């Protein structure tokens, strides 16, 4: 449903793997889990693994806006500056969910 809403909203989206090897990166000596990985790579994946830990059986999605939140130059429908990436997707998703009820 999220992927379909992204297409309808005109926002790019891809599903990333919840790589079990990366689960090691969010282990902590002091807490049950930490919210940052041990390397600069895979931040979106380790963030999703962190959220998964607390979501339980509740359906969830991690929409990582860190990369596309800012545009240095004009692309598609984005002007340089803050893009608002994810807003159109979430509005579309909320509308789709409301229409289901």
Element at 9 (helix H, strand E): helix 2-9
Domain that holds residue 28: 2-100
- Number of compact structural domains in the chain: 1
| Residue 71, burial from CB neighbour count under 10 angstroms (0-12, 13-18, 19+) | middle
- Which pLDDT does position 98 carry in this prediction? 95
Element at 48 (helix H, strand E): helix 43-55
pLDDT digits (tens, 9 = 90+) for 42-52: 688 888 999 99
- Which pLDDT does position 101 carry in this prediction? 83
pLDDT digits (tens, 9 = 90+) for 62-100: 998 888 888 899 877 678 999 889 999 999 999 999 999
User: Which has more confidence, 67 or 38?
Assistant: 67
Output the CA angle 51-54-59, nearest 5 degrees.
75
Model pTM score: 0.76
Q: What is the mean pLDDT of residues 54-69?
A: 89
Both tokens of 58, joined, read 């509740």
CB atoms within 10 A of CB 37: 19
């Amino acid at each position: 449903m999220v992927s379909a809403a992204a297409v309808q909203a005109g926002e790019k989206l891809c599903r990333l793997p919840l790589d079990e090897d990366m689960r090691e990166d969010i282990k902590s000596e002091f807490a049950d889990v930490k919210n940052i990985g041990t390397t600069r790579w895979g931040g979106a994946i380790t963030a999703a693994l962190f959220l998964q830990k607390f979501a339980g059986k509740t359906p969830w999605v991690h929409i990582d806006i860190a990369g596309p939140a800012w545009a240095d130059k004009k692309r598609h429908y984005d002007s340089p500056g803050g893009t608002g990436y994810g807003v159109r997707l979430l509005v579309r998703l909320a509308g789709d969910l409301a229409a289901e009820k």
